[in-house]
Structure 1
Amino acid sequence: MIPKPSLTKARSQTFKAFYATIRSLRNRPTEAPADFTPPEENDFILSILRSNPSLRDTRSYLASFGALPNKPQAKSATPPHVPEIVIPPPVHKTSTSLPKISDKQQQVQPSPVITSILNPVYRRTALVKVHGPFTDVQLDSITRGLVYLEKLGLVSVIVVENDDRVIGEPDKRSRIMDEVMRVVTSLERHGARARPVVGPVARLGPKPGGDEFSSDPKCDPPETHAYPHDLVPIRSSLRAGEIPVVAPLALDSFCRSVRVDANDLIAGLASSMMEAAAHDHNHSARSEHEDGTTDPNAIDLTPLRLMIINQHGGVPSYARSGYPHLLINLNQEYEHIQETFDPKWKSSHPTALSDLALARTCLNYMPPASSAIMVSHKSPSSLIGNLITNKPAVSSSLPHALLQGNLRLTPHTPTLLRRGLPIQVIRSLADLDKEKMTALLEQSFGRTLNQDAFYKRLEKSLDFVIIVGDYAGTAIVTNEGRPDSKEAPISYLDKFAVLPSHQGDGTVDFLWVALHDESYGLGHPFSANPNGGKGGMGEGRDLVWRSRSNNPVNKWYFERSTGHMRMGEWVLFWSDAEKHLKIEQGRRGSEALSYIEDWEHGRLARWADEIPKIPSAWK
């Protein structure tokens, strides 16, 4: 009698047979089925799903990359609706056992989403700096990410840089030409069409006559410039459906082609491509077919993104123990980041400050909604998330404790940079522009402010007001409680508002970070940001605010609060003073904090008693 094999052995043999079968099928030269998705396509789809875009992010993406409308439509006060996806029923083959489907039933109207996908996607451009040296595997990962972006409508204009130079090399350009061809070959390996641009597309020196597209006159002009006819190789490549890979060359005053720094060339291209795009717009360069559909070769030269891909990633932050900044407001934080840059980071992040300056210069010319991202070769998939959401990989306004323990925050987490807006903190109602503040609050909340009662209350209870830009956003904090009480007043977030035109451009995160630094985050070194307030000095206070239970913003509040309590139609939120928690944790040592500390007893009852008494500010 033959003994039966054990169950474990049988499973092992079954698995080996299954693996051998799969391997043989993979090596067999047969055609793949029609519904087969290659691994790279799976990676592409997963990268889109991981970005987890909100409804607002989706609308913003479709507004930039969706098919252009055939005819101009009147502006509507209501926001655009996302079309509903309608999946038509499957059509079965007719047989004796199935009822016959009539022609009328077979004529299923395609959904608007399918129609928009079938129409050509309006393509936009991005300036990309690929700063090597990279191995073949690293370069393969980078180019795969850039090909994914092209599928989503963002076509890269790549400028190659390579620090792997041999000292005393007679021809410095030969190495950079080899690098250009490596990038081209790698792009084509992933199915894209690429074209090497080995001739100069810019000229040395600032543009004669100044830059009309500069948004900040104080910003130094680029060291190169180009005229619209200089961009013919790039424009020709884009219209032919090819990704241009540009060598960092420029013409000097003697019309000689010289090697320049890639940063100088990219900064000059940012200004020049804006000028060329404006020239195209003025001459109605967007052509249409006779049937009214969008020209599939139409490309807007306006650079929508700046992508800096290097070996070390973003700019290290003193507030995160050398981990990168998540979101940078260049208008407010540029000098502060340079001043707090640790000298030891110059060896690990040698190009961080020069790339920071490059982002500042380029965003000075690019549209206000544009952004720059600094990413390492280890995080190419994050480029897709940034394109769709235009947000950092991890929100910078999350509580610091959550950021420290967040597994998504690594040394290679990308840094997102925006032109941003200045931030100021005022503590006197006399310094407030009531007319602009009223307009901001009424547009943000869609209600009419009871001005007399609101500002009269602020005269007695105002603590401070944070203002972003020219009243593009505000956070109003008041001191609440009975005047005769011996207890410290309650720090209450009375209003938190951002203009609809600035929602989704980073202003909300910039405003909340400033609020954190002036309230419950006081006393920590990472709160010493240049917001015009206390500079991180002082004692933090618990911050309390309320929101209606059906407010769609509550999900955002839940993530940024220490706790919440439901009170009928309201939800009470609070954020504990972080310095107080740190001191208590240090006092206890290895012991965990109690469920309710001694200093927490009675405060919820007090908040629940005082906060509902605050009168409404609306008519």
Structure 2
Amino acid sequence: MNTAPSKRELQHFLKRYVPQPEFTTSHIVSGTDTSRISTSSAHHLKSPQKYVDALLSPSAHQLAVTKVEGPFEKQGWDAVGSTLVKLQKLGLTSIVVSDNAQWSTEKESPAELNKTMVRETMALVESIEKAGGRARLIHGGVLEQGNNGTIEAQLDFILSALENRQIPVIIPVMTSEGGRQEPITGNQVMVSLTTKMVRRQSNNSPVPAKIVVINNEGGIVNHEQPDTAHSLINVQEEFDTIVRAFDENATWQQRYPTAIGNLEMIRNCLSDLPTSSSAIIVPTSSLPSALIANLVTDKPLYSSSLPNRDSQRINKLRTTVLRNGIKIHNYDNVDDLDLEKLTRLLQASFQKKLDENGFYERLRHVLAGAIIAGDYEGAVLMTKEGQEGHYYLDKFAIAPTSQGIGLTDILWKRMCDAYPELLWRSRQDNGVNKWYFERSNGYLRLKDTNWVLFWYGAGGFRHIDNYSTIARSIPASFTGPLITL
């Protein structure tokens, strides 16, 4: 409850992770009197308490592939075990890979290293069972050496554990061609498991909803804001920039030795998974709240599109959410845009009929730039207005099918980086205004109109008169509600 999800986020969570009973969740969420529940539904569940118990019954219909990267102190192990059990009760069961960056540097023999890995992994198994869960230690029989040095995953032991509502805990060892148990890295196991599970989709086997890394380091350090972690990473767009920043900073390589390895592993996993899947890196000090909040809201703990006014808040939980993301394209000419796709996007996003002739004719004269996400899954249209050439946010649109994957934050941040001073307007009854208030540097309700003027940029208040004139002068883009047959 402390995650305080919005109604939309809560509905998304319940739909995805919770088996629905015969009556709707609104009876519980809105506090509706149980006397309104139908007789058959009331007989089936008998009381809201049983409904809550049903919500918290362990299930494995959504899966996470989770790397637990120790070693931890006892308190850390307890936090990990308790969190994994709580996530299972909320509908997300983890396939756990035990790991320790020091294992790959050990000089002891493979046989001795195997014993060390088993001993340390048992601490994780015990923490799960101490928290009231059931765990199954899996040592061997999962990873096998394939052709050309590849690693092939076998899921039989894992699926058996899941069917028995156990959390499988895998020791990262591979069976070589000679039958020996050879230690490998946790990242290799994570990629092999994800690849195998994606290939099994034809057998109605679930694919991971999340890739999770629990460690001591926390999230990926933010090269743009030293001493803070990235809140959200669009892997397709930001991977090379982050790796380059680490290459140029030897101190980071020493302080965060597993960061780039985890980033590469997550990129490989997410590239095979649906766009709805995401990854999260979280330190034990942020458990369980960081993972539960992300599970319920499916968002970063701190929006990357918010102004960075409170670095302590950004860095407090040192948690990074990662999505495979979408390629972003920039255009500065209307003729380079696919107007048919853009029209479909704008109408689907605003649910209004676009005045195509009037809108695009105006755009040909004033377009400053268009930021297009993927195959027109999102768009930012910027114009240049007035004699001073102020940048005006004419349209910000996200396709309904692409909502909830972090695209809004990705596009907003890209826009603000490209246009450090800009303005836009919104109708006073627009439900999005709260979001705008949080991201603007100032606003003004325009008298005798239904518009609220917003601006972004520290110096925007100096241009209020010009901004007001521009906001009042922009013609309407839509002719009426969108009618679909």
Compute the TM-score of the two structures, normalised by the length of structure 1: 0.71
2:396 is the alignment partner of 1:517: no
Corresponding letter in the other structure for 1:448: K
Aligned counterpart, 1:360: 267
Q: For the residues of structure 1 that align with 2:169 and 2:418, how far apart are their CA atoms?
A: 46
- Gap change, CA 1:378 and 1:66, over 3 Å in 2: same
Q: Say whether the 8 Å CA contact 2:60–2:93 is kept in structure 1.
A: no
Residue number among 465, 471, 477 corresponding to 2:382 in the alignment: 477
Corresponding letter in the other structure for 2:442: G
For residues 308-457 of structure 1, what are the structure 2 equivalents within 5 Å? 308-341=213-246, 342-381=249-288, 382-400=290-308, 402=309, 405-410=310-315, 412-457=317-362
- Gap change, CA 1:174 and 1:458, over 3 Å in 2: same
Q: For the residues of structure 2 that align with 1:502 and 1:186, how far apart are their CA atoms?
A: 38
- CA displacement at 1:111 relative to structure 2: 8.2
SS at match of 2:68: strand
Q: For the residues of structure 2 that align with 1:122 and 1:373, how far apart are their CA atoms?
A: 19
- CA displacement at 1:117 relative to structure 2: 5.8
Q: For the residues of structure 2 that align with 1:368 and 1:82, how far apart are their CA atoms?
A: 28
For residues 130-209 of structure 1, what are the structure 2 equivalents within 5 Å? 130-165=68-103, 167-170=106-109, 171-205=112-146
Q: For the residues of structure 2 that align with 1:336 and 1:108, how far apart are their CA atoms?
A: 55
Aligned counterpart, 1:570: 451
Q: For the residues of structure 2 that align with 1:303 and 1:111, how far apart are their CA atoms?
A: 33
- CA displacement at 1:66 relative to structure 2: 1.9
Corresponding letter in the other structure for 1:61: F
2:4 is the alignment partner of 1:58: no
SS at match of 1:51: coil
Q: Say whether the 8 Å CA contact 1:478–1:494 is kept in structure 2.
A: yes
Q: For the residues of structure 2 that align with 1:181 and 1:543, how far apart are their CA atoms?
A: 56
- CA displacement at 1:176 relative to structure 2: 0.5
Aligned counterpart, 1:86: 32
- CA displacement at 1:147 relative to structure 2: 1.3
Q: For the residues of structure 1 that align with 2:327 and 2:201, how far apart are their CA atoms?
A: 28
SS at match of 1:160: strand
Q: For the residues of structure 1 that align with 2:219 and 2:396, how far apart are their CA atoms?
A: 30
CA deviations on 1:354-409 (whole Å, 9 max, x unpaired) are: 00001001111222101111111111120001111111111000113x2xx24322
Q: Say whether the 8 Å CA contact 1:133–1:162 is kept in structure 2.
A: yes
Q: For the residues of structure 2 that align with 1:491 and 1:162, how far apart are their CA atoms?
A: 50
Corresponding letter in the other structure for 1:261: T
Aligned counterpart, 1:499: 399
Q: For the residues of structure 1 that align with 2:151 and 2:243, how far apart are their CA atoms?
A: 24
- Gap change, CA 1:425 and 1:380, over 3 Å in 2: same
- Gap change, CA 1:223 and 1:574, over 3 Å in 2: farther
Q: Say whether the 8 Å CA contact 1:130–1:309 is kept in structure 2.
A: yes
CA deviations on 1:141-181 (whole Å, 9 max, x unpaired) are: 11111111111011111110123448432311001001221
- Gap change, CA 1:184 and 1:122, over 3 Å in 2: closer
Q: Say whether the 8 Å CA contact 1:85–1:112 is kept in structure 2.
A: no
Aligned counterpart, 2:199: 275
After the TM superposition, list the runs of 4 or more consecutive aligned residues in structure 1 that deviate by more than 6 angstroms.
Answer: 106-114
Q: Say whether the 8 Å CA contact 1:88–1:108 is kept in structure 2.
A: no
- CA displacement at 1:413 relative to structure 2: 1.5
SS at match of 1:50: coil
Q: Say whether the 8 Å CA contact 2:81–2:129 is kept in structure 1.
A: no
- Gap change, CA 1:87 and 1:600, over 3 Å in 2: closer
Please give the root-mean-square deviation of Cα atoms over the aligned residues, in Å: 2.6
2:176 is the alignment partner of 1:240: no
- CA displacement at 1:561 relative to structure 2: 0.1
Q: For the residues of structure 2 that align with 1:492 and 1:82, how far apart are their CA atoms?
A: 40
SS at match of 1:409: helix
- Gap change, CA 1:167 and 1:257, over 3 Å in 2: closer
- Which deviates more, 407-416 or 111-120? 111-120
Identity %: 34
Q: Say whether the 8 Å CA contact 1:444–1:500 is kept in structure 2.
A: yes
Corresponding letter in the other structure for 2:54: L
CA deviations on 1:520-551 (whole Å, 9 max, x unpaired) are: 1xxxxxxxxxxxxxxxxxxxxx2110011111
- Gap change, CA 1:435 and 1:116, over 3 Å in 2: farther
Corresponding letter in the other structure for 1:344: T
- Structure ranking higher in strand proportion: 2
- Gap change, CA 1:109 and 1:144, over 3 Å in 2: closer
SS at match of 1:141: helix
Aligned counterpart, 1:529: none
Aligned length: 462
Q: For the residues of structure 2 that align with 1:116 and 1:474, how far apart are their CA atoms?
A: 41
2:42 is the alignment partner of 1:118: no
Corresponding letter in the other structure for 1:502: S
- CA displacement at 1:85 relative to structure 2: 3.8
Q: Say whether the 8 Å CA contact 1:316–1:322 is kept in structure 2.
A: yes
Q: For the residues of structure 2 that align with 1:346 and 1:142, how far apart are their CA atoms?
A: 26
Structure 1 gaps of 5+ residues are: 1-48, 71-79, 90-102, 209-221, 282-299, 521-541, 582-598
Structure 2 gaps of 5+ residues are: 480-485
